[in-house]
Structure 1
């Protein structure tokens, strides 16, 4: 092993958690240890925690194969997360000097960040600064997001399990929603700011044992409230009960989110993202007051990203693989790269890992192609066929006293 490959590793997690993000962490940790890394550190609460001097030696926390198996099945971010936006170098160079001083003190040569779009912005800025100051530290992005909106990669680890949970939950909601002999309406609000990949997964509920959802509304298309109300009225007059899936980020023609049409408290994070919630409640109230139909609003909220009891084995395996692939690439000299998944076959489904320049991925949002969204408020078979392989197979939790056992870092 050449001299530039001798050094310590540090890994962090950022952005919204998923049910399989810790499988990527295990992929980084185990591969780095197997390839001879002296130490593998974990940032507590991502890059923000590193700036605050918060990190742990993961070998003191992950000691046995049982720990590894538990961690792969533990939802949310084991190391904690953050939504911290690094400034531009010309705005605050001192932040970068502090980060690189900490990395040098820890003798870190390889930096891995597990996250989505905003996290890849962090990798881009750190790798650019490393080039600027001639640092030999390697910076690699490990993809993660239930939103599936990361560019270049076929899909992102975390999405398959969230899609599996959504499809399964919609089947249960549909069974519950159709029990009465009079029309009722259930509106289910699913995560998705500007991309409707998660909400589209509701279409998987339809099958020989399930009628499926009646309508699907995605943020890729303008939401027409008048058309929506007319369709609901028409179907209800046929004595139909309905289950409707909507993305939290659906917008009306003037650019406002639907939830902004009602009174709401606005919260904006460091990246300028508004906290979205309340569109289903607004529409349910409107239907109830104008049409007099019993309507229920359900927000899946954080449940869709932390349901580790409903993980896809395909997803958890790919999450592990992208972590390991990032380490392999970095140890071979790559930097400023993101591991991506490339689908090479649909039948049978097969994906391989590659690396790609972070500058083509950071701050680029992948949306559902419009040709995969129908004019009658649904999605095409092509989109369903794209999603279905990602939800396949299961990885059962390790149960103790009737409940899933998780691994806690105990900060």
Structure 2
């Protein structure tokens, strides 16, 4: 009986047998598939004749590898009996370890948990995840692919000599503490590394400034941090100094650097990687995708995104209550995060089902006329006496223009689109002689400081473990993410080349918004030139034949 997605896969041993045996096994599998209800199809676009795999950089190609066997893990994981402590130096760590060891030797069952397991499966460079999983008749018989993330049988580093560092950059995001915790757990409890440094305040933590001293992370310190929002290391923008960062890595003998952030942070991380290679330093630099806007390209989603969507829905429910409970008419405008992409606003609106109008950066805002949002809101309020408008913070540049001011992270400052939309609605109803109470809610920072929900917590664990697996193997200059529901390693230059990504204003997500709200939809024109395949290729949703 055929069951499961892997039951019809020819194993490597089968491919080494004689042709007759292989053909017989293949014929049997085909019969099983047909009995199960699958139909054989041979159209060209369904057959992938060639795969272009994203090339990862490896320290193995430049430095001697320890080639350590990634074998059975047998470690003691201390169970904290006292409040966790942030260690400031190695002396304090050694003293704590000695204390733990003496406690374990006197009564191991009371103070520690014994961990022992074997990996059931190792991955290698030949294990890939197809990027172009959805096949249409317009596609050629090619596909792109990423190397699959997971444990490797041979390690580049000797874990016992590894000193690692973790830094969180940019704005807050649900799940940051989860990632820090699971990185620390994986490094200590799975691989048994020597030391893990926590860099405080983003890249400023490398500069030796007062109040930004790095701390030594331990399993005890991070044990409960995943229950809180924010980051125990604190985050920050700016402060990037390649020379001082490399000096820090050298002074503390860091061999693995984990950088958590968005596309700007990943560009900075790649500069660190390039300088390490230029100076022949055997250091793995790993990025972990973090963006509240879900605008890093290729990945299914960024961690913390779903948690923020849940938090945003609470603000929408509040807005609906405020609008419903005023007489004779009420409208509430909710501004949500989304600098260049409207994913958070769109998902929150769909998840709540209570939004009457959604405004995002990808779709121009038309205010006046019969197809304008003001006329639409007038009709909607006439029907049910209230309305809720959700607007992304980056929407409306075609109306308000682009700001020339730049923040410390290199991002342009955004125009006050929420307040502007509120004022335009007020003026419209006043000019019509219609009494209407218009309120404005800005929960922007509230939605990113909440703890991670269950789905994001699990996702953070997967990302952190895969990041450590990749670094231990010797990959560098890469980021971890999920593509088509599988963990993958993505070269940083490829990731940032088309980031930040944006929502497709002619895609299914926006069509679902329109079906929910019934709002007018302005013409956004052509996304790219269909006659030029390379114009569309970076946006793999349109892989043109």
Partner of 1:30: 185
Please state if 1:279 is matched with 2:421.
Answer: no
Q: Is the 8 A contact 2:174 2:305 kept in 1?
A: no
Residue 125 of structure 1 aligns to a residue whose secondary structure is helix
Q: CA RMSD in A?
A: 2.5
Normalised to the residue count of structure 2, the TM-score between the two structures is 0.60
Q: Deviations over 1:315-342 (max 9, x none)?
A: 1211122112111110111100000112
| Number of the residue aligned with 1:16 | 171
Contact map agreement 1:372 1:379 (CA 8 A) in 2: no
Bigger RCO of structures 1 and 2 (CA < 8 A, at least 6 apart): 1
Match of 2:363 among 204, 215, 221: 221
Cα distance, 1:111 vs structure 2: 0.4
Q: Which residue of 1 aligns with 2:506?
A: 371
Give the superposition deviation at 1:137.
0.5
Task: Call closer, same or farther: CA 1:379–1:9 in 2, change over 3 Å.
Answer: farther
Q: Is the contact between residue 167 and residue 202 of structure 1 (CA under 8 Å) also seen in structure 2?
A: yes
More deviation in 236-245 or 331-340? Answer: 236-245
2:255 to 109, 124, 127: 109
Kindly indicate whether residue 426 of structure 2 is the aligned counterpart of residue 288 of structure 1: yes
Separation in 1, partners of 2:512, 2:474? 48
In the alignment, structure 1 residue 321 sits paired with structure 2 residue 442: no
Is the Cα contact below 8 Å between 2:167 and 2:202 reproduced in 1? Answer: yes
Say whether residues 1:301 and 2:439 are aligned partners.
no
Instruction: Identify the match of residue 47 of structure 1 among 186, 189, 203.
Output: 203
Task: State the match for 2:483 in structure 1.
Answer: 342
| Match of residue 299 from structure 2 | 153
Shift of 1:49: 1.6
- 2: CA distance, partners of 1:253 / 1:169: 26
Maintained 8 Å contact 2:315/2:334: no
CA distance in 2, matches of 1:205, 1:195: 17
Q: Give distance in 1, aligned partners of 2:514 and 2:342.
A: 10
Contact 1:41 1:58 in 2 (8 A): yes
Matched position secondary structure for 1:253: helix
Distance 2:421 2:512 in 1: 16
Instruction: Write out per-residue CA displacement over residues 4-53 of structure 1, whole angstroms, 9 at most, x where no aligned residue.
Output: 43320001000011121110111111111121211100111122221236
Give unpaired runs (5+ residues) of structure 1.
87-94, 261-265, 344-350, 382-411
For residue 455 of structure 2, give the secondary structure of its aligned residue in structure 1.
Answer: helix
CA distance in 1 between counterparts of 2:511 and 2:194 reads: 57
Comparing 136-145 with 124-133, which one deviates more in the overlay? Answer: 124-133
Structure 1 stretch 146-155 or stretch 197-206: which is displaced more? 197-206
CA distance in 2, matches of 1:29, 1:176: 44
Tell whether the 8 Å contact from 1:217 to 1:377 is kept in structure 2 after alignment.
Answer: no
Q: Is residue 491 of structure 2 the alignment partner of residue 353 of structure 1?
A: no
- Partners in 1 of 2:449 and 2:334 — Cα distance? 17
* Long gaps (5+) in structure 2: 1-67, 69-154, 431-435, 517-545
What is the match of residue 406 of structure 2?
Answer: 268
Q: Return the offset for 1:201.
A: 1.9
Between the aligned partners of 1:170 and 1:119, the Cα distance in structure 2 is: 31
Aligned residues: 349
Q: 1:247 to 1:36 in 2, by over 3 A?
A: same
Do the aligned partners of residues 247 and 14 (structure 1) sit closer, same or farther apart at CA in structure 2, a change above 3 Å counting? same
- Tell me, in whole angstroms, the C-alpha distance in 1 between the residues paired with 2:200 and 2:373: 45
Runs (4+) off by over 6 Å: 373-377
SS of 2:476 mapped into structure 1: coil
Out of 70-79 and 361-370, give the one that drifted further.
Answer: 361-370
Whether the aligned pair in 2 keeps the contact of 1:138 and 1:334 (CA below 8 Å) is yes
Distance 1:251 1:277, change over 3 A: closer
Question: 1:134: how far off?
Answer: 1.6
- Scaled by the length of structure 1, the TM-score of the pair is 0.78
Please give the secondary structure, in 2, of the residue aligned with 1:378: helix
